[in-house]
Amino acid sequence: MPFGGREEIHVENAPIAKRDMSYTQNRELSWLKFNERVLAQATDPGLPLMERMRFVSIFTSNLDEFFMVRVGSLIDMDMLAPDEKDNKSGMTPKEQVSAICEAVRPLVERRDAIYRDLTGELDNAGVTEAGFDALTSSQKAYVQEYYKENIRPLLSPQVIDRSHPFPHLKNKALYAAALLTLSGKPAGGGKEKDKSGGKQSGGGKQVSGGKQPSVLGIVDVPSALPRVIALPGGGARYIRTEVVIAAHLKKIFKIYDVSEQAIISITRNADISLSEEHYDEENPDFLNYMRTLLKKRDRLAPVRLELEGKAPRLAKRLSEFLKLDGERVFACACPLKLDYIDQIEKVPGQLFNAPHTPVYPDYLIAEKPIWEQVAQRDVLLFYPYQSMQPFLDLLRQSAKDPDVLSIKITIYRLARNSAIAKALCAAAENGKEVTVLMELRARFDEQNNIDWSMELEEAGCRIIYGPENLKCHAKLCLITRRERGGLGYIAQIGTGNYNEKTSTLYTDFCMMTADPAITRDAVSFFDNMLIGNSAGEYDKLLVAPFAMKNRIIAMIDEQIARGAEGRIRIKANSITDRELIDKLSEASCAGVRIDLIIRGICCILPGVPGKTENITVTSVVGRFLEHSRIYAFGAGLEMKLYLSSADFMTRNQDRRVEVGGPVRSPELKKFLAEYLELLLADNTRAWRQDSEGIYTRLAPGDAEPIDVQGWYMAHPIEFAKSVAPRETLNRRIRRWWGFRK
């Protein structure tokens, strides 16, 4: 699960003094509340133990990324514009960093306590993490041999003194660090007893009676090694590799005594932006420019120091070297990286969720070309309850169909072994014109996108990178086919990435349509992207950055005109855009009923008298990441409903290319409206925010439990198996271009 949205630091132009902040809150602190809801899943006794542990891991990796991106950006902002104030809380960058660190510390303490409780429960269930001192004699002999043969040859220990400068510590890599004093014993003096003694968990250790340390010692935990070592004796018993290295620090630094030690990790600023260099002047090839930027990420300034265990003097010495103030130093009782849990062997199956397999929609005929079925009706796929397979089938069939002339698609994040990319390669190799608008700046997926862009280009695809200074986050595909009497088009609009892996983990929608009003706009969109025109005009599609927000505001105004009969429902990952927040407040004051289903960051406070009293905010956090974006304005037959790639965030609305597509099929519109109502009725996985920004988890009480995700896993999604046929493609095409029979 990615963390709850990534937004470049940006302050809108209206003077802060004129902003009403009585119904808004800081986006960073709101995000921390979202991650707290993620952590709360780890305490749910209804979930299997390993799934609860995974939520602890997700919380931790979310927090890592948050410090890399958001805190890193704020630190940069503090250097560039220290007096700039957030338009939702009035805080300066430095004040925001301090507030973040203050809010994070109790969350880390709670995470550590939950981890401790879960490891105890897992131990009772037969999954045991061993400390070095807890090993039996046979296990210790096995680990020592493993260390000698597999670990020690890869270690590169270093002391830091006048002759040995402080080394570069890679972003989020693990290291064993120690404060050292000369022991006064000869080096290599025969067999030396291991003095690491006491319980070793990989965490901090203080040795009484030692001299004041004079040097710092650091050993990397090689990333090439597995994080866990399975122990002999049966069952899921293991020891972490970094714990083994920590237990050998005295032998590694053999001429020194160890006075304090800990496993440490540095979090570095990962907020690389295109404005850092003039790539058009220095690196004319955009691909090479992105490679250059990626190399920087590991070397950017530190923003956080973590230590597993308490080692205060070691922490102070490290923070001095790293130039970090104390508020950004965190001592933890939990491992600093929890991804190792997926490497534990022989874990009983009942400790995991039962597998969920997305199904092929039963209203589609697998043996019949998808093109023909979409020509008859709009098709909606609902991930992860339904499979991505019909869309993959459409691409594969199009790659082979001699009448298909071209495929155009936007790409933001692809799977490592992408079936979609392979289908595009096959289409190009079969002579189709394949155009891929590849976004290389999809944060933390840049290298994967670079690799795929090269492979796609080799296969004969045309690769473009979108308008300068705008990320292309849209999810749009257009297929053009030669039909009798003209050309036929299929457009696909998605709320999530073209990624087979995340389609089984995230809730998203994929709509395929031959509606000429939509496909005509899709043709215009790709024409505009090919010439770098981000300000094109569209009839049905909402396209950012030049038209989407204005169209949304116009639809909110339509509901404001209806007063108490107005209705707005928005499902998104985050809402931070001040202009949209203020417009929703205006609608609330006009009596419009507004339900916001916001998984992550929500900067609008609901229920504030005279400001947002007609607004509710619901967050659903469950097994699957709630990723889809749905905008619904009005109700009944007059409702305008859109599926979109864009959140209600400033970055999405003003600084990205985004697409929202109208749902015009009455059948699909009815289904999506019912889905929104079911989300609002969830009393099992849903949280409700109050006017103070506090979230409370809903409980069924005496009512019937409603679990939206559980419902769709257990019940097939039903659409009519047959529908009244649309107009023929030829007739639509003739009408489109003004022809007459």
Contact 654, 545 (CB under 8 A): yes
Give the per-residue SS3 of 220-280: ECCCCCCCEEECCCCCEEEEEHHHHHHHCHHHHCCCEEEEEEEEEEEEECCCCCHHHCCHH
Per residue in 479-527, pLDDT (tens digit) is: 999 998 899 999 999 999 999 999 999 999 999 999 999 999 999 999 9
pLDDT at 19: 84
Range name among 222-231, 358-367, 434-443, 549-558 with the lowest pLDDT average: 434-443
pLDDT digits over 77-106, tens only? 888 889 999 999 999 999 999 999 999 999
pLDDT on residue 195: 41
Token readout for 655 is 């600084």
Report the CATH number of the 131-347 domain. 3.30.1840.10
CA distance 683 to 705: 6
Q: At what angle do helices 516-530 and 729-736 cross, to 10 degrees?
A: 60
Q: What share of the chain is helix, strand, coil (3-state, %, to 5)?
A: 40, 20, 40
For residues 260 and 311, the answer to whether their CB atoms sit within 8 Å is yes
**Token couple for 145:** 């041999």
**DSSP state letters, 590-651:** TT-EEEEEESS-B-BPTT-TTTTTTEEEEEE-SSSEE--EEEEES-GGG-EEEEES--BSHH
pLDDT for position 162: 82
- Which residues face 406 on adjacent strands? 433, 480
pLDDT in tens, 648-662: 999 999 999 999 999
- Per-domain residue ranges of the chain: 16-124, 131-347, 370-540+728-736, 542-706
Q: H-helix or E-strand containing 229? A: strand 228-230
What local confidence, expressed as pLDDT, does residue 726 receive? 57
Range with the lowest mean pLDDT among 181-185, 396-400, 623-627, 704-708? 181-185
Rounded CA separation 246/253 (Å):
11
Q: How confident is the model at residue 281 (pLDDT cuts 50, 70, 90)?
A: very low
Q: What rounded mean pLDDT belongs to the chain?
A: 89
Q: Which amino acid is at 184?
A: G
In the chain, the amino acid numbered 193 is K
Asked whether the beta carbons of 424 and 397 are under 8 A apart, the reply is no
581 pLDDT more than 70? yes
Question: For the structural domain made of 542-706, what CATH number should be given?
Answer: 3.30.870.10
Same fold, 16-124 and 131-347: no
Question: How far is C-alpha 468 from the geometric centre of its chain's CA atoms?
Answer: 24
Please say if the pLDDT value at position 682 is more than 60.
yes
In this predicted structure, what is the pLDDT of residue 440?
A: 76
Paired sense of beta strands 127-129 and 236-240, if any: parallel
204-256: pLDDT as tens digits: 554 444 455 479 999 999 999 999 999 998 889 999 999 999 999 999 999 99
Q: How far apart are CA 422 and CA 412, in angstroms?
A: 16
Terminal Cα distance for the chain, rounded: 53
CATH fold of the domain at 16-124: Methane Monooxygenase Hydroxylase; Chain G, domain 1 (1.20.58)
Number of H helices, E strands in the chain: 21, 28
Region 259-285: mean pLDDT is 66
Identity of the amino acid at 688: R
Among residues 137, 129, 255, 154, the alpha carbon closest in space to that of 195 is found at 255
Q: Which tops the pLDDT comparison, 685 or 213? A: 685
Does the domain spanning 370-540+728-736 belong to CATH 3.30.565.10? no
Are the C-beta atoms of residues 586 and 611 closer than 8 Å to each other?
Answer: no
Q: Is the pLDDT of residue 403 over 80?
A: yes
**Sorting pLDDT into bands at 50, 70 and 90, what band is 3?**
very low
Our measurement of the distance from residue 603's CA atom to the centroid of its chain's CA atoms, rounded to an integer in Å, reads: 19
Examine the pLDDT at 268 and tell me if it is beyond 90: yes
**236-240 and 615-620 strand pairing:** unpaired
Q: Which of 168, 473, 627, 715 is flagged as catalytic? A: 473
The residue ranges of DSSP E strands in 249-401, in sequence order, are: 256-268, 302-308, 329-332, 379-383
Q: Which residue has the higher pLDDT, 16 or 372?
A: 372
Query: If phi over 0 gives left and psi between -120 and 50 gives alpha, with beta otherwise, what is residue 619?
Result: beta
Active site residue 473: yes
